[in-house]
A and B are shown apart, each in its own frame.
Chain A
């Protein structure tokens, strides 16, 4: 292997460099840095208000960092508008499920392919041959994903009528439809019971292995993070508190203090 190939192999897929976010006088994130390597599951943990969701929203370009940079495969994402993030391979789910409530499961997942397809209103109105071909490809892909996530039975159901757990799976399906390289999952275990969390953990690992994705998991549920993450970053009050394997982070005195409080408090 040449030097260049080695360097490429070690280059992070996504690099967060010294990112700070300031809202008015409040520092929500303060110089946070970490790397995500291809094929890893990275867990981002921290108590409420630690800045997890702020960081997450920087990655999906909803917030603009006041300083620092975020690099995807070496190129900054900060010059891209939010709707041009999906096309470079960053897909996400939302904390409280942000589906399109009046659309069917199929159509929700079809919207997921938007960044991977193209069309214009004239060709769409006339249903030209190439539009029909694209649509056939989209349908094939969407049905494959519905199969994969076991959503075939509800394919034609409007999502607002589905149970919460199923809606979460639909959201995952929608994110997968965009062929992301990195999947950002914002509290996927929220609102799920013990059994469902277990199933979800297996699913995330399966997606990583079978669909070759890199996963960023923002999660409150310690059990889930510790059982599936390869690498964990802990935040508190906008700063990086600790980083390492799940075992290292779990044993870190600062992390324990942040979660449980210190003795003299």
Chain B
């Protein structure tokens, strides 16, 4: 029994929301989309950059959500996949002169393969043991990237500087804004594909495995295949996010992809609500903005303040943004009557 089951079983009140359990309604989706499209038109370039990072981390949280919320497998190693994606994009752009947009699918495919292969040995592990194995991956990755053997490609400890792309067709918008809209299009595409996937036969197989492996197998679900596929898909999306991150930050270096990143993404998933895809962006906002807020409150004790804020969130809304959304929905429902 993995702890995901335990979490899920302890919360009948939240779990018992049948309709659109994974997505937002059309109305809400359109409002969020409009905000994401119009918002960056009126703010400074730095804030546009932060919004780009918000989308990129949301993608990485979404990827983890498919793995943990979908197939019930834990991962504290997402930073490793993110790093592989980032380096793939950076190396292709800087060493081979590949167009930035083309590097993303390549990063996605390489990370899919990487995740799929990592999923094979991980099949023997579940719950906290799997979390530990992926943790080892996250710890090893920055050191692997520093290895002298790869230094010609990776730039070793120094890392690589990535050129920021200009807006195409001479569009009169800044590089930051262009990159934001580019990221937005990629993110929406991946979000829609992920929702499709989780609602499909494959997605049901993931969730069947999460809920009961033996029963899933008796229904003809190849448990090993779908578990590794979930790892592959999750790693692939994380890789695309990593590639986008490298382009947005214009720099890749081993120490940018430590276990701290993996834990942040895990945190983002919990705050957004495990298994609730729209929560990914809320989780992403939490891991980007709340540390800043904590710093504003107290410079010396920002870590402690962050801890207290996190504790409050976990204590008040243990199921994250998903829970808030459900309560809000019920309130609106009452007001309509």
Binding site for B on A (CB under 8 A): 60, 62, 81-87, 91-92, 94, 98-104, 107, 110-112, 114-117, 119-121, 124-127, 131, 134-135, 138, 156-158, 160-161, 174, 178
User: What are the 4 A-B residue pairs with the smallest beta carbon separation, nearest first?
Assistant: A115-B220, A124-B200, A86-B220, A100-B211
- Kindly state whether residue B172 has any CB partner on chain A within 8 Å: no
Stretch at the interface among B202-210, B251-259, B262-270, B320-328: B202-210
Pick 29 A–B contacts, CB within 8 A, sort by A: A62-B214, A83-B221, A83-B222, A86-B218, A86-B219, A92-B218, A94-B215, A100-B210, A100-B216, A101-B211, A101-B212, A103-B207, A110-B201, A114-B221, A115-B219, A119-B202, A120-B202, A121-B233, A124-B201, A126-B193, A131-B200, A134-B201, A138-B201, A156-B18, A157-B16, A158-B15, A158-B18, A161-B12, A174-B219
Docked Cα-Cα span, A173 to B203, in Å, equals: 20
- Kindly state whether residue B9 has any CB partner on chain A within 8 Å: yes
- Kindly state whether residue B124 has any CB partner on chain A within 8 Å: no
Name the distance in Å between A132's Cβ and chain B's nearest Cβ: 10
Query: Is the Cβ of B215 less than 8 Å from the Cβ of A100?
Result: yes
- Kindly state whether residue B154 has any CB partner on chain A within 8 Å: no
Name the distance in Å between A116's Cβ and chain B's nearest Cβ: 8
Query: Is the Cβ of B18 less than 8 Å from the Cβ of A111?
Result: no
Which B residues are CB-close (under 8 A) to A101?
Answer: 8-9, 211-212
- Kindly state whether residue B336 has any CB partner on chain A within 8 Å: no
Docked Cα-Cα span, A163 to B188, in Å, equals: 40
Among A85, A131, A135, which residue has its beta carbon within 8 angstroms of that of B218?
Answer: A85
Query: Is the Cβ of A102 less than 8 Å from the Cβ of B220?
Result: no
Which A residues are CB-close (under 8 A) to B221?
Answer: 83, 111, 114
Which B residues are CB-close (under 8 A) to A86?
Answer: 218-220
Name the distance in Å between A178's Cβ and chain B's nearest Cβ: 7
- Kindly state whether residue B217 has any CB partner on chain A within 8 Å: yes
Name the distance in Å between A55's Cβ and chain B's nearest Cβ: 16
- Kindly state whether residue B19 has any CB partner on chain A within 8 Å: yes
Query: Is the Cβ of B217 less than 8 Å from the Cβ of A82?
Result: yes
Docked Cα-Cα span, A126 to B190, in Å, equals: 10
- Kindly state whether residue B229 has any CB partner on chain A within 8 Å: yes
Binding site for A on B (CB under 8 A): 8-9, 12, 15-16, 18-19, 193-194, 196-197, 200-205, 207-208, 210-212, 214-223, 229, 233
CB closest chain-B residue, reference A106:
B18
Among B15, B203, B205, B223, which residue has its beta carbon within 8 angstroms of that of A102?
Answer: B15
CB closest chain-A residue, reference B220:
A115
Name the distance in Å between B30's Cβ and chain A's nearest Cβ: 20
Docked Cα-Cα span, A99 to B8, in Å, equals: 14
Knowing A111-B204, A119-B201, A127-B200, the reply to whether A161 touches B16 (Cβ < 8 A) is: yes
Docked Cα-Cα span, A99 to B215, in Å, equals: 7
Name the distance in Å between A15's Cβ and chain B's nearest Cβ: 21
CB closest chain-B residue, reference A97:
B215
Which A residues are CB-close (under 8 A) to B205?
Answer: 111, 114
Query: Is the Cβ of B215 less than 8 Å from the Cβ of A107?
Result: no
Query: Is the Cβ of B18 less than 8 Å from the Cβ of A99?
Result: no
Looking at B19, B194, B214, B219, which has the most chain A CB atoms within 10 Å of its CB?
B219
Knowing A102-B207, A103-B204, A124-B200, the reply to whether A111 touches B216 (Cβ < 8 A) is: yes
CB closest chain-A residue, reference B209:
A100
Which A residues are CB-close (under 8 A) to B18?
Answer: 104, 156-158
CB closest chain-B residue, reference A161:
B16
Among A102, A107, A125, which residue has its beta carbon within 8 angstroms of that of B193?
Answer: A125
CB closest chain-A residue, reference B225:
A83
Among A94, A125, A156, A174, which residue has its beta carbon within 8 angstroms of that of B196?
Answer: A125
Among A83, A126, A127, A161, which residue has its beta carbon within 8 angstroms of that of B220?
Answer: A83
Query: Is the Cβ of B220 less than 8 Å from the Cβ of A121?
Result: no
CB closest chain-B residue, reference A90:
B218
Query: Is the Cβ of B208 less than 8 Å from the Cβ of A100?
Result: yes
Among B19, B207, B210, B229, which residue has its beta carbon within 8 angstroms of that of A121?
Answer: B229
Knowing A101-B8, A121-B233, A158-B18, the reply to whether A110 touches B218 (Cβ < 8 A) is: no
Name the distance in Å between B310's Cβ and chain A's nearest Cβ: 26
CB closest chain-A residue, reference B206:
A121
A125-B200, A156-B19 are known; give 19 further A-B pairs, CB within 8 A.
Answer: A82-B218, A83-B220, A83-B222, A85-B220, A86-B220, A92-B218, A98-B212, A99-B211, A104-B18, A107-B207, A111-B205, A111-B219, A112-B219, A115-B219, A127-B196, A134-B201, A158-B15, A160-B12, A160-B16
Query: Is the Cβ of A125 less than 8 Å from the Cβ of B201?
Result: no
Name the distance in Å between A42's Cβ and chain B's nearest Cβ: 19
Query: Is the Cβ of A160 less than 8 Å from the Cβ of B9?
Result: yes
Looking at A87, A92, A100, A174, which has the most chain B CB atoms within 10 Å of its CB?
A100
Docked Cα-Cα span, A107 to B19, in Å, equals: 12
Docked Cα-Cα span, A160 to B212, in Å, equals: 13
CB closest chain-A residue, reference B230:
A121
Docked Cα-Cα span, A112 to B212, in Å, equals: 13
